Structure 1
Amino acid sequence: MRNGDSAVDSTAISLVRTTFKAVAAIEDGPARLTQSFYSVLFANNPDVREFFPAAMEAQRERLVHAIAYVIDQLDDPEPVLLFLAQLGRDHRKYGVVDAHYTAVGNALIFALKNFAGNEMWTDEVDNAWREAIALIASVMMEAANAEDGPATWTGTVVEHKQVLQDVAVVRLQLDRPMEYGAGQYVSVTVPGRPRMWRYLSPAIPANPEGQIEFHVRRVSGGWVSPAMVGQTNLGDTWLMGSPLGALGVDRTRNRDMLMIGSGTGIAPLRAQLMEMAMRANNPNVHVFVGGNYPCDLYDIETLWQLSLTNPWLTVVPVSEEDTNPWWHLDPIPTPPAGMYKRITGKVSAVAAEFGDWSNHDVQIVGSASTIQTAKFRLQAKGVPVENMRHDPLY
């Protein structure tokens, strides 16, 4: 991986990957590694503790996934450098300065060395990790220091609509417009859960009026999503970080598109389709919208309306069950004339079997299991891995 004149060569990448996999293979290795990392970080840098929530379980899990993602992508520089630059801009919301990156790197080296042991942690491994961490830190710092936009945005809740028992649509008025790309996501924290940041994808394109909309599903046992869905009131203020992610229409490739979205994962796809509807020329797009029950396709009528006025768009609704649960009393919507009727099955399987997608750009949004299953099925049908895109799985 290269950034300017800096590089991590293939040998160093191999050493970093091997070490991380070995540590991850230890019983409870990832959890113990992150616990050790944060203990060292907070002990040596007490001021850093205030950046994080009181409950650290989700933060520790997120750290492991982020490290794993970067390590997996080290020899594919373009996406990982973009990801790290965005992450650096996003970290400005904490008040992070350059010295904090050095502290984080030192704490991570200490924790890794402690778990790897002297036999595995050779001088070559130590140098490889230090090179990788130095490059990661430099990319993040350069991006953060070059950014002259706001570190955070404040949004006032102007609409809160519970469309299902566990799903709410929340619209906010930002204190200033945010220039995000349709398909990106942002970190969000709410008043009742300070410093507990969650990633949400705007469901509408960026606009000069500074409006933004999120579709939020309540996660059973979650800390933040239940408050967003069930305890949000008009006038509440949410705090948001810089836009992240690289989903979007790649107009340089001149390819038709396949989009697969499950549940509230339809939000970033919806934003892209709305933005495309404002353009004169677009690729042909097939969108497969999935859910457990028909009612989980809560926004299907919006997509139908977009399809009716945009001939390049085809919408295929899919649900695993053919009927709604007993507690959902609203009737199942009927598709307009010319629209596909709802198909019963798993959205990844239905999409993979529907047609030949080998020459399409593919976007997949949903849970980690949905994304992995869809990728596996599409790859088995001849879709190259490099044609499939999704956000990091954390």
Structure 2
Amino acid sequence: MFPIGMNHQRDRLLGALGRIVSQVDNLPELVPFVRQLGADHRKFGVEALHYPEVGQSLITTLRYFSGAAWTETLAKDWADAYDVVAKTMIDAAEEDAAQRPAWWNAQIVAHERRRFDLAVMRVVTDRPLPFLPGQAVALEVASRPRVWRFYSMANAPRPDNTIDFHVRLVDGGPVSPVLVRSVAAGDQLRLGPPVGTMTFDDRSGRDVLLIGGSTGVAPLKAILERIAQSPAPPRVHLFFGARTMDGLYDLDDLAKRAVEYPWLTVVPAVSDESAEGGVEQGTLADVIARHGIWRDHDAYVCGSPTMVDATFDRLVRLGLGRDRIRFDKYADA
């Protein structure tokens, strides 16, 4: 929205936005995102008949806050762009409805508090939920109806339809406090369709670098399970970082996997307090720089935006190609 009375810069920006959105159908890279958005909106009960009303509301809002900058040409650009987006979303939703449900019902079968603000839970779905290791699903808890939050699966698909999630409490968050403090085995959840592109490339043949900050380690564990299923697993280095020692909440399990898998090396690190017991001191970006040459690896990075950006930049400076770095950022909201 643009407040009334903004200057010439507002006018130029609005015009530029209008030109950009008018070309949305000529930007193929946007189509997968828009299609995924359309399919994902099914879980909210969105139907084709809702789109015209939303479009009209959007145009009316833009016209009101644009003031004198609004023109008929701009109105047509926005209307045309919205029509393209809406049609793409509607078509994707209809195709998706023919293949899978809008959501999966699930029941919590185990819930473990690892810290005062963090829990690991296992759920079982009422039917198979096809996903790729590294993806996430939106999750709705019964006490917060129609409020969905995304969480990454912490395991590869299993025959028994169980899925693990790592949940860190966010102050003021509508869902995470319930998942950490209030739910228990037997409680019901709903899961949306899987989304995300930080998935394992099993065709590259290169060694693998996994870098996770806090609960960002969850999708990396899913990728690790997928690698363990390979007939000839590549060498894997997993760096697990946190601010403090008690933030390394999953280190015991990772250490057991390192003993089980001779091709796996686990390196824990803390940034904000003294390290002990074989734990490295420093940020993940600094620690990985001390530990090897990664230019011939595939890297997967997950954590806070700050951590991911710093790690991505360091890997590039160390010689790893940008196209070999897949990442996922989670926000504290």
Q: Which TM bucket (shorter chain)?
A: 0.7 to 0.9
Unaligned runs of 5+ in 2: 1-11
Q: How far apart are the structure 1 equivalents of 2:202 and 2:286?
A: 27
Deviations 1:36-72 (A, max 9, x none): xxxxxxxxxxxxxxxxxxxxxxxxxxxxxxxxxx99x
Residue 91 of structure 2 aligns with which residue? 142
- Amino acid of the residue matched to residue 62 of structure 2? L
Deviation, 1:263, is 0.8
Aligned partners of 1:356, 1:362: CA distance in 2, in Å?
Answer: 12
Residue 291 (structure 1) aligned to one of 234, 238, 242: 242
Extract unaligned runs of 5+ from structure 1. 1-16, 24-69, 325-331, 335-340
Aligned to 1:363: 300
Counting only pairs closer than 5 Å after superposition, residues 1-394 of structure 1 correspond to structure 2 as 18-19=13-14, 77-78=28-29, 80-119=30-69, 121-122=70-71, 125-147=74-96, 148-323=99-274, 341-391=278-328
| CA–CA separation in structure 1 for the residues paired with 2:241 and 2:318 | 20
User: Does the 8 A contact of 1:294 with 1:319 survive in 2?
Assistant: yes
Structure 1 residues 98 and 225, CA, compared in 2 at 3 Å: closer, same or farther?
A: same
Contact 2:169 2:180 survives alignment (8 Å): yes
CA distance in 1, matches of 2:131, 2:215: 19
TM-score (norm 1): 0.71
Residue 386 of structure 1 aligns to a residue whose secondary structure is: helix
CA distance in 2, matches of 1:351, 1:315: 12
What TM-score, normalized to structure 2?
A: 0.83
Sequence identity of aligned pairs in percent?
37
How far did residue 240 of structure 1 move?
A: 1.1
SS in 2 for 1:290: strand
1:388, CA displacement in angstroms?
A: 2.5
* Structure 2 Cα separation of the partners of residues 100 and 213 of structure 1: 35
Larger strand proportion, structure 1 or 2?
2
CA distance in 2, matches of 1:252, 1:101: 40
SS of equivalent residue, structure 2 residue 328:
coil
Matched-pair contact (CA < 8 Å) for 1:262–1:365:
yes
Letter in 2 for 1:96: V
The size of the alignment, in residue pairs, is 315
Q: Secondary structure at the match of 2:232?
A: coil
Q: Is the 8 A contact 2:167 2:176 kept in 1?
A: yes
Residue 298 of structure 2 contacts residue 324 of structure 2 at CA under 8 Å; is this kept in 1? yes
